[in-house]
Copies of this chain bind each other. A is one copy, B any other.
């Protein structure tokens, strides 16, 4: 990630001046404000603004006149209770606004989360930067044989090198031609809204993205999951750190009851009951499909 001097100055300027407010603050998040946290080779996440903190969750759950905190302990207990029992509306009372720089193919997955507010950099209006995502060598994987929408093992060195060479060359050429088409030097210059169609999906875009905490948790549950594509997962993991600093009780509850939780089908519960009674169960006698049995064993199989 490289920011221009102008951008660095703008960020530093923001961090230099503080204001007095009667609003609640989240101390742990103040120190992250505005700072660009690098993700991938040219991407970043910046926290622009936030509303609420752990206490705001219990305040709303109690429809309080004041802060709504009783004691730190009872607040944490209430937050864990709300999370465990899918009482989602109090978590919607916290809101965060981010500035994110990310490759277009990641943005296309991200935008599928509809309950959020977005302002994207307009390539109709402005010229995109010459920045493309080129994977690190340890992220150049073959198509998976098991999971048809995932990655298998690493490509061997020669093949990986060929891939890298292609990605770099095509990105460069496409951007050179993008610039050539919009240039007004000795020609009229193609409209930007047309020229952008020549740019590949690894070009970086950026947007302001604003979301409430409940919907952010939903995003993180799906995108910090090991089945998510690596390139969006690293953004989700960066966000996990930010959320942990912002609302530590809520984040811990999310980890315990959502992110690291396991959902058992009615059939799996029955299998577990039999196993706890000392019965020896295998796939044949479990009533589970092979795929379900494999998923079940990955959690409860002997190590």
Q: How large is the interface on A (under 10, 10 to 19, 20 to 34, 35 or more residues)?
A: 35 or more
**Residues of B with C-beta under 8 A to A202:** 197-198
Specify the chain B residue showing the minimal Cβ separation from A57. Answer: B119
Near B by CB (< 8 A), chain A positions 184-200 give 184, 187-194, 196-200
Least Cβ distance of A92 to chain B in Å?
4
Q: Are the C-beta atoms of B22 and A18 separated by less than 8 Å?
A: yes
Q: Are the C-beta atoms of B23 and A21 separated by less than 8 Å?
A: yes
**How far, in angstroms, from A112 to B151 measured CA to CA in the complex?**
29
Which positions in A face B, CB cutoff 8 Å? 3, 6-7, 9-11, 13-15, 17-25, 30, 33-34, 48-52, 56, 59-61, 63-67, 77, 80-81, 84-86, 89-90, 92-93, 95, 97, 99, 103-105, 108, 111-112, 114-115, 117-122, 124-125, 133, 135, 139-144, 148-153, 155-156, 159, 162-163, 166-167, 170, 173-174, 177, 180-182, 184, 187-194, 196-202, 206-208, 210, 212, 222, 227, 229, 255-257, 260-267, 269, 272-273, 275-276, 289, 291-292, 295, 299-300
